[in-house]
């Protein structure tokens, strides 16, 4: 049932779960099957009483459940459960009840398509919903979810006491951190274990979200309306919601704010305003009355739990907004996609928090990923780094990463870096706003010509740095080359939905950096991949901002390592099956100015994933041949594009 290499990996996992080790499993080896079979054998062989499988996204939870219970291993479904949290289910009833309101936020056609898709399904997940829905504005996503979330979820499938539990990182981390379950005879299997850092960052850092408070109060108002003598409390809560909404709307109206705001004056202003709201008389009344409710031993959980949640948010808001700005690491994280700010007190040592608050509570586990460290076959310091970045490093211990060679023939993948790439001018300021007219940047002239010359009527993905680049290049091709079918990533369309559309029609997809990982385009679905940038992390994110505050050299070192990891994830998209063939072009001239040792790390990666050719591009293809097989176009075609660019 499993291939020989899959059986080897499965055996290594079972033999080493006591050692708490990491496994570097190449893309395309079938980690879902390997982990599923490992879980089944651990139970059948009596190695542990329970297995908890942790995967990064909820759609994979459902896939793995089906693999274990019916598609492959036919394990008794009564002994397998899904546990992802009740907020991840939606109700078709609420969609129908709120249909008119939903059409204000969602493209009607996509909503109708989802209703047709869901009509015969018993269980509905938001992960599937968002893969089909097209939002008019992504900021409305939270509002839509609140309208249709399944409020009365009572599913036998959603439990944490089954023999095999399949869950997500957020839910598992929350359960372990809060000591909610007994894991004494449990083995954990982590799929894509590298993603735990992002989830830990969201959970472990202290934060206060005015939006989250408003949402929790609104939900609690609905519950309290069913009780007598709560009208005054409900009125106080409505007042607080209005005040909180006004405060964060005022902040969002500031045009100069970026994703991470550390400006002490702005942070202090927002913090003081929040503090004054949470200390106002109506807030004090809310706290007093909620404390009375939760102290009532006869109160039902349907009232108790949301009351405790709202109290916890208010108390965290009081603590953070009352901090001395000069002495704290308080900042404001602004989410452009969600449209609201969050007060955060961050830490540059998420790995340390993860070690002591999570890993030290787990006795047996295995962590799998295609990118455990910054090299495809890590050993020595490279292996150590894989453990350090996840908070698993133990001084004096030899840290081994089980690594496996690629199964697929890498000679089918050609990787090119042309040597005539112009320097790329930075078009963004620190707030992510465009400060340069893209039409005036020489680099984009080069890129447009290069893609056109090398497209060769093959399905191609162009990974751009942001929506501005993707939109500009897509519009350029749509306007002047209407015979070439183009797609462009959008904030309103889920990545999965965009990929499925591209699979059906082909052409050129101009995508943003979030398409670097997780996309599944096999065989002729993608035959050309163009990377406009080496995939460095977003420097404005909290993690990197805090690291820069601690040490610029430390931050620079880690960002380089994370770029190498992201590069491997990106290159792995090209070859997921033995039938995949294609060309990869890296159009970033930073390669030629990199230090020797760092460039050597990149070369090792490129040579692992394909046949790497440093290419000297001949300017006039009529005078000589190039290693890059260009389209047979006369000089007029390229000069035509140049003239069109000049005229924009």
What pLDDT sits at residue 89? 87
Classify residue 61 as exposed, middle or buried by CB count within 10 Å of its CB (0-12, 13-18, 19+): buried
What pLDDT sits at residue 260? 64
3-state secondary structure (DSSP) of residue 398: coil
| CA atoms within 13 A of residue 627's CA, in its CB half-sphere | 15
What pLDDT sits at residue 295? 87
Cβ 132 vs Cβ 49: under 8 Å: no
Q: What's the Rg (C-alpha) of the chain?
A: 26
Taking the C-alpha atoms of residue 189 and residue 172, their distance in angstroms, rounded to an integer, is: 11
Which of 383, 374, 377 is closest to 403 using CA atoms? 377
Taking the C-alpha atoms of residue 195 and residue 569, their distance in angstroms, rounded to an integer, is: 12
3-state secondary structure (DSSP) of residue 6: helix
pLDDT digits 0-9 by tens, 12-49: 999 999 999 999 998 888 888 999 999 999 999 999 99
pLDDT digits 0-9 by tens, 417-454: 998 898 877 666 555 556 666 666 788 888 988 999 99
What pLDDT sits at residue 417? 94
- Residue 492 has a CB neighbour count (10 Å cut-off) of 18
Bridge partner residues of 167 (DSSP):
54, 83
CA dihedral (110, 111, 114, 120) positive or negative: negative
The rounded average pLDDT for each run of 10 residues, N- to C-terminus, in the chain (648 residues) is 90 95 90 92 95 90 86 80 86 90 90 89 84 78 81 64 92 86 90 90 80 86 85 93 83 62 78 92 93 84 83 88 74 64 75 90 94 89 92 89 88 92 72 60 85 92 86 86 87 75 89 74 86 83 67 83 92 84 93 92 94 63 35 40 45
What pLDDT sits at residue 338? 54
What pLDDT sits at residue 262? 66
What pLDDT sits at residue 440? 61
What pLDDT sits at residue 509? 93
- Residue 646 has a CB neighbour count (10 Å cut-off) of 9
């Amino acid at each position: 049932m499993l291939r020989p290499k899959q059986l080897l990996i499965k055996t290594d996992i079972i033999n080493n779960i006591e050692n708490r080790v990491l496994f570097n499993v190449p893309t395309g080896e079938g980690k879902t099957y390997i982990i599923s079979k490992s879980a089944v054998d651990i139970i059948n062989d009596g190695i542990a009483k329970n297995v908890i499988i942790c995967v990064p996204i909820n759609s994979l939870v459902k896939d793995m459940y089906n693999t274990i219970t019916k598609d492959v291993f036919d394990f008794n479904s009564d002994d397998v459960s899904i546990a992802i949290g009740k907020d991840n289910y939606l109700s078709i009833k609420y969609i129908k009840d709120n249909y008119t309101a939903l059409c204000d936020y969602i493209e009607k056609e996509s909503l109708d398509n989802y209703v047709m898709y869901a009509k015969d399904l018993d269980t509905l997940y938001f992960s599937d919903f968002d893969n089909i829905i097209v939002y008019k504005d992504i900021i409305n996503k939270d509002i839509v979810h609140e309208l249709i979330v399944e409020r009365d979820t009572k599913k036998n499938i959603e439990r944490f006491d089954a023999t095999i539990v399949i869950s997500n990182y957020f839910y598992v981390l929350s359960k372990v951190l809060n000591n909610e379950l007994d894991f004494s005879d449990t083995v954990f299997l982590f799929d894509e274990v590298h993603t735990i850092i992002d989830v830990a960052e969201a959970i472990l850092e202290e934060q206060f979200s005015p939006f989250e408070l408003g949402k929790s109060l609104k939900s609690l108002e609905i519950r309290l309306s069913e009780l007598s003598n709560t009208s005054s409390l409900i009125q106080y809560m409505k007042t607080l919601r209005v005040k909180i909404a006004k405060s964060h709307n005022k902040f969002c109206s500031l045009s100069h704010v970026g994703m991470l705001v550390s400006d002490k004056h702005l942070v202090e202003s927002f913090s003081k305003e929040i503090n004054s709201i949470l200390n106002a008389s109506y807030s004090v009344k809310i706290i007093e009355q909620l404390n009375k409710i939760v102290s009532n031993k006869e109160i039902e959980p349907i009232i108790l739990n949301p009351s405790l949640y709202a109290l916890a948010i208010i108390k965290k808001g009081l603590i953070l907004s009352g901090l001395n700005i000069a002495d704290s690491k308080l900042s404001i994280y602004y989410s452009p996609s969600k449209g609201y700010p969050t007060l955060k007190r961050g830490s540059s040592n998420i790995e340390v928090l993860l070690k002591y608050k999570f890993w030290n509570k787990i006795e047996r586990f295995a962590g799998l990923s295609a990118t455990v460290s910054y090299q495809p076959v890590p050993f020595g310091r490279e292996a150590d780094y894989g453990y350090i970045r996840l908070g698993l490093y133990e001084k004096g211990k030899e840290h081994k990463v089980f690594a496996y060679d690629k199964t697929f023939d890498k000679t089918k993948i050609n990787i090119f870096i042309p040597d005539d790439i112009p320097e790329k001018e930075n078009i963004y300021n620190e707030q992510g706003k465009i400060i340069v007219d893209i039409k005036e940047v020489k680099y984009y002239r080069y890129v447009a010509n290069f893609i056109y010359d090398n497209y060769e009527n093959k399905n191609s993905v162009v990974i751009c740095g942001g929506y501005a680049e993707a939109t500009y290049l897509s519009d350029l091709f749509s306007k002047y080359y209407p015979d070439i079918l183009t797609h462009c990533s959008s904030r309103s369309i889920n990545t999965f939905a965009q990929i499925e559309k591209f699979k059906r029609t082909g052409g050129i997809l101009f995508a943003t950096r979030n398409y670097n990982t997780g996309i599944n385009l096999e065989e002729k679905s993608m035959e050309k991949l163009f990377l406009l940038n080496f995939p460095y992390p977003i420097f404005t994110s909290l993690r990197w901002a805090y690291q820069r505050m601690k040490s610029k050299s430390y931050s620079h070192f880690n960002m380089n390592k994370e770029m190498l990891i992201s590069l491997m994830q990106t290159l792995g998209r090209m070859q997921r099956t033995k039938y995949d063939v294609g060309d990869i072009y890296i159009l970033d001239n930073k390669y030629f100015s990199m230090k020797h040792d760092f460039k050597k790390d990149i070369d090792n990666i490129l040579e692992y994933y394909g046949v790497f050719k440093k290419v000297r591009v001949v300017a006039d293809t009529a005078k000589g041949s190039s290693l890059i097989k260009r389209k047979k176009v006369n000089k007029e075609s390229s000069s035509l594009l140049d003239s069109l660019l000049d005229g924009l």
